[in-house]
Amino acid sequence: MYEPLTERSAIELAERLRLFPEDASLSCREIGDGNLNLVFHIVNTKDGHGIIIKQALPYAKVVGESWPLTLKRAIIESQALRTFASYVPEYVPKVYYSDESLSITVMEDLSHLQIARKGLIEGKTFPLLSEHIGEYVAKTLFYTSDFGMNQQQKKQLAQQFTNPELCKITEDLVFTDPFFDHDTNHFETELRQDVEKLWSDDVLKREVAKLKRTFLTKGDALVHGDLHTGSIFASETETKVIDPEFAFYGPFGFDLGQFFANLLLNALSRNEQDRLPLFSHVEKTWEVFARTFSELWETKSEEVYAKADGFLEDVLRETFTEAIGFAGCEIIRRTIGLAHVADLDTIEPFQRRLDAKRHALRLGRELIVHRSTMKTMNEIKRFFEKTSLVNN
């Protein structure tokens, strides 16, 4: 049944689905990076209107390696997009069609926007990014949690979003391999001493162990599961979260942590005077998240204990602590693990890149180890400064 689409069969599919007017003149280009998915961009050359057809490939290619990867992730992705669209239609691409046997999702063309990571590396700031992501995270988490959803329906949704194979990637690449001398890691030879210090850091490993356990066991809500700045399309006015193939029932703090980490990784790549917009984004994301989540809690909660004195504060506090810890893990793995970020890897000259990566390792470590005593989001900035090369 399954076979990879070609540019030709992608156009035929679009025609069959009548997604364009009868007299449209369609052109198609495969624009995926070829690692995990085929991505076809089909445009009606008469009016410039387009669609995206995304098809999962039955294997993953990363740094030359190839391993089989479940096609079920395409089902998870289209179902997650539809689920999220029911709560935050403004922040996710519209899904026009999906086909489980072909592992395809046909969706809105977002090519008028830019991948946030790319824009941030170019020095853009996307002024509404944190406001939008804070609201996106608050609503998707609240409405799919035991607070915003019937608790029995939630269990069935969690069952549907069981996603062992994609979770395994996170368990290995985010929470495990970077903290051990594992062959998936890669980093500059010059960093070896810093990395070995990390590997022998018992205090750190005990805390990462607990964070991994939280990731493995705590099913708070349907999380995106891979909310880095490469999973976000943005402009000055719009924000769209894409690629939820890692979606599963996970802890409240996970998406926030990944997002914070990737903002901070970008900050690490910038000169001191250009970092402020990133810190502001981190703080604003939390502020909007906490405010939106609290409003929903007060007005829409399905849980009778939502009215219990202090309980909301407990939940927010725990989410905050988790997010900081997950952010620390993400910063470290993006520096020395299998999948790097361009923010750090493109820093020139080389010595500055090394400095930034050493700073990243120290920052990641401090966030993980001190997450429970941090009280406000602007402490992140303090830790960022404390761990910069200047003060070490």
Angle between helices 379-386 and 276-300 (to 10 degrees): 150
Smallest gap from Cβ 70 to its own copies, in A, equals 11
The DSSP secondary structure of 310-336, one letter per residue, reads THHHHHHHHHHHHHHHHHHHHHHHHHH
- Extract the tokens encoding 210: 């607990």
Residue number, 210 or 352, with CB nearest to its own copies: 210
Residue 158: Cβ within 10 Å count: 17
Residue number, 61 or 182, with CB nearest to its own copies: 182
* Ligand-binding site membership of 243 (annotated): yes
Sorted by sequence, the CB contacts under 8 Å of residue 23 that are 6+ apart come out as 46
Residue number, 208 or 227, with CB nearest to its own copies: 208
Cα–Cα dist 170/231, whole Å: 15
What does the angle CA 119 – CA 123 – CA 126 come to, to the nearest 5 degrees?
A: 55
Q: Indicate the residue type of 33.
A: D
- Extract the tokens encoding 246: 């890692």
Q: Indicate the residue type of 357.
A: K
* Ligand-binding site membership of 108 (annotated): yes
Smallest gap from Cβ 93 to its own copies, in A, equals 27
Smallest gap from Cβ 181 to its own copies, in A, equals 12
Residue number, 186 or 307, with CB nearest to its own copies: 307
Smallest gap from Cβ 304 to its own copies, in A, equals 6
Smallest gap from Cβ 365 to its own copies, in A, equals 15
* Ligand-binding site membership of 109 (annotated): yes
Closest to 211 in 3D by CA, of 374, 371, 383, 378: 371
Residue number, 82 or 205, with CB nearest to its own copies: 205
Smallest gap from Cβ 213 to its own copies, in A, equals 7
The DSSP secondary structure of 259-301, one letter per residue, reads HHHHHHHHHHHS-GGG-HHHHHHHHHHHHHHHHHHHHHHHHH-
Taking the C-alpha atoms of 231, 171, 267 and 132 in order, what is their torsion angle to the nearest 10 degrees?
40
Interface with its own copies (CB under 8 A): 146, 151-153, 155-156, 158-159, 162-165, 167-168, 171, 176, 180, 202, 205-206, 208-210, 212-213, 216-220, 304-305, 308-311, 314-315
* Ligand-binding site membership of 37 (annotated): yes
Task: Provide the 8-state DSSP code for 109.
Answer: -
Smallest gap from Cβ 78 to its own copies, in A, equals 19
Residue number, 46 or 210, with CB nearest to its own copies: 210
**How far, CA to CA in Å, does 309 sit from each of 148, 247, 305, 314, 317?**
18, 32, 9, 10, 14
Residue number, 240 or 333, with CB nearest to its own copies: 333
Annotated binding site for substrate: 226, 333
Annotated binding site for ATP: 37, 54, 108-110, 243-245
Annotated binding site: 37, 54, 108-110, 226, 243-245, 333
